[in-house]
Amino acid sequence: MKIRHSLSLRARIAVAMLALVAFSAVVVAVLAHFTGERLEEGVNYDLLAEELTHYEHRLRSDPGAAPLHSALLHIYRSSDIAQLPREIARLKPGVHHAIRRDGRSLRVLVRDGEFGRLYITYDVSDHERGQRWALLVLIAGVAGTLALTTWAAFRLSRQLVGPVHELAERLSTIDPSERKMRIAQGFMGNELEPIARSIDTFLERLDGFVEREQAFTATASHELRTPLAVIQGAVELLTEQHGGQASTQNALARIQRAVREMSEFTSALLSLARESDTASSHSTECDVAAILPRIVEDQRAIAPDKVVKLAYSAAETLRVRAPDSMVAMVIGNIVRNALQHGAGNTIHCQLHERTLKVENGGTLAAGVAQRLFERNFSTRPGGHGMGLSLAQRICERYGWRIEFSSVDETTAVTLSF
């Protein structure tokens, strides 16, 4: 079982075909060899028996008839002690094979009758030599058949498995962001056509699901813009009328921040829904250093009861090709999670070259770092998630990289643009 799983499908097909042909060839060769020997033995026995019978008929008519002596056949009588070879004289009645005499191989038939014991020998030396050559030819034929079968098996297995490899390669080259992809056209009339058609059916359903998701997200984002604009207008009006009172001013500022965050969120969702319009989204530039103070300030209200000191340094300009809403969504998400889930009271935001690093005290529990980007994952019971899955999706969209590290009682999030 281990060998089977260690071999490829192509190799298993070739080995199975080779084993079947090899077994068949060996069985046929062995049967042919032994069948030929049995037939030859039967013919030789009939020949020798007939010669002895013929000699006995001669003896009946002529008791002094001389035994047969030719190049291959010799007949001896037990009474001819002088002429009877010792190797043959000691044989018992019956057929004897491979009797060696003077370097020759003899087949001997011994039979008792009315004229005593008769011996007839048949020189099969040349015949055995021919048999050995025939056996070598048979072995060479089997070896040649196996070699030809090996070549044919691997060639046939390549033809059988080739479409499977082609299908796998075709699937591996499909771009997930590209819609309306179909593959069945390239496998028409092939054994894999039903599988390719099933994959096309799945891709068609997947396209429909993605289109419905994008349509829903875009519609929801558009529908949210109107009430957000109304709320924003009302807040501005209230600020003009009652902005002098400190308590009212703080409340209105919180509403403005919430409206701004919601507007950025809907803009981000709308941009992600238009995934195919990547070129236009990359044509917009954002200055990270310019919006970083505002993003940090918006997140201060999340932990009003904590003694939190935010220290950030934006010593240089960093421009990235992305809308402000996307950048604000990712950075705001990182800072907000540092405030809500961090154990320390001081958060450091450091912008250097094309990297933003957010540090907070405390370390992540074992196994938490691997699950931070899971949707709806939260470190608090009953939480609705940390929102990092959306941040990661935005980073993947624009080619950014977000990394977590937790060492020496410090947890750091590094965002590389």
Q: Does domain 281-416 have CATH number 3.40.605.10?
A: no
Examine the pLDDT at 385 and tell me if it is beyond 50: no
Convert 111-141 to b/e letters by CB count within 10 Å (16 or more is b).
Answer: beeebebbbbbbbbeeeeeeeeeeeeebeee
Q: How far apart are CA 55 and CA 43, in angstroms?
A: 18
Closest to 253 measured CA to CA, from 287, 306, 300: 300
Closest to 295 measured CA to CA, from 343, 327, 251, 340: 327
8 Å CB contact between 286 and 264: no
8 Å CB contact between 272 and 326: no
CB burial class (10 A; 0-12, 13-18, 19+) of residue 268?
buried
Average pLDDT, the chain: 75
CB atoms within 10 A of CB 83: 11
CB burial class (10 A; 0-12, 13-18, 19+) of residue 96?
middle
Q: What does the domain layout of the chain look like in residue ranges?
A: 2-153, 177-276, 281-416
- Quickly list DSSP for 46-66: HHHHHHHHHHHHHHHH-TTPP
| Partners of 373 in beta bridges | none
Which residue matches tokens 């060839």?
25
Q: pLDDT tens digits, residue range 239-293?
A: 777 656 666 777 777 787 777 777 777 777 777 666 555 555 566 788 888 888 8
Examine the pLDDT at 369 and tell me if it is beyond 60: no
Which residue matches tokens 């050559």?
133
Q: How far apart are CA 97 and CA 73, in angstroms?
A: 15
Structure tokens at 365: 């529990």
Give CATH for domain 177-276.
Answer: 1.10.287
Task: Look up residue 330 and give its DSSP letter.
Answer: H
Closest to 354 measured CA to CA, from 291, 416, 399, 282: 416
- Average pLDDT estimate for 321-340: 83
Q: pLDDT tens digits, residue range 90-127?
A: 888 888 877 777 778 888 888 888 788 888 888 877 77
Angle subtended at Cα 99 by Cα 98 and Cα 103, rounded to the nearest 5 degrees:
100
35-39, 175-179, 181-185, 393-397, range with the lowest pLDDT: 175-179
Structure tokens at 353: 């070259």
The top-scoring range by mean pLDDT among 26-35, 98-107, 114-123, 303-312 is 114-123
Residue 368 has a pLDDT of 58
8 Å CB contact between 85 and 99: no
